[in-house]
């Protein structure tokens, strides 16, 4: 069974940066398109960025030119570099396949951006 463990969240002031990492218990990133999802307080979980096995990327409009997703197949990690953070980026961030697989949901990592 694959486990995904997210890390790197924290509290940061608006305009700051954070880097999130997602480590897999075994090699899966060469098999799936992977994404970072965000669940803001009181809102549904949304996909904010994804990267295919061919390293094509997608970003939701609100994070374009601020977030960068990357994958390292050799290290079994998917990362999300977040710059110029805004209070509306606050939420719990999860990594998962795209489309998401129920068995891949982890605990997520909390990102809080203060104004």
In this predicted model, which residue has the larger pLDDT, 113 or 76?
Answer: 113
**Region 74-85 average pLDDT:** 94
**Region 9-16 average pLDDT:** 98
pLDDT at 6 over 90: yes
Average pLDDT, the chain: 94
pLDDT at 81 over 90: yes
Q: Which residues are 112's β-sheet partners?
A: 11
pLDDT at 12 over 90: yes
Q: Which residues are 114's β-sheet partners?
A: 13
Sign of CA dihedral 94, 96, 99, 101: negative
Q: Which residues are 98's β-sheet partners?
A: none
pLDDT at position 68, please? 98
For residues 2 and 28, give the distance between their C-alpha atoms in angstroms, rounded to a whole number.
Answer: 8
Supply the Cα-derived Rg of the chain in whole angstroms.
Answer: 13
- What percent of the chain lies above the pLDDT cut of 70? 100
Whether residue 111 contacts residue 18, with contact meaning beta carbons closer than 8 Å, is answered with yes
18-75 pLDDT, tens digit per residue, is 999 999 888 888 789 999 999 999 999 999 999 998 889 999 999 999 999 999 888 8
């Amino acid at each position: 069974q694959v486990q995904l463990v997210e890390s790197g969240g924290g509290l940061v002031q608006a305009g700051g940066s954070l880097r999130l990492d997602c480590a897999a218990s075994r090699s899966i990133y060469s098999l799936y398109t992977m994404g970072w999802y965000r669940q803001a307080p009181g809102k549904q979980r949304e996909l904010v960025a994804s990267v295919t096995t061919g390293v094509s990327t997608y970003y939701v409009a609100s994070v374009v030119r601020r977030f960068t997703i990357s994958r390292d197949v050799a290290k079994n990690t998917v990362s999300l570099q977040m710059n110029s953070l805004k209070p509306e980026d606050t939420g719990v961030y999860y990594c998962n396949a795209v489309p998401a697989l129920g068995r891949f949901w982890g605990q997520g990592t909390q990102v809080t951006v203060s104004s």
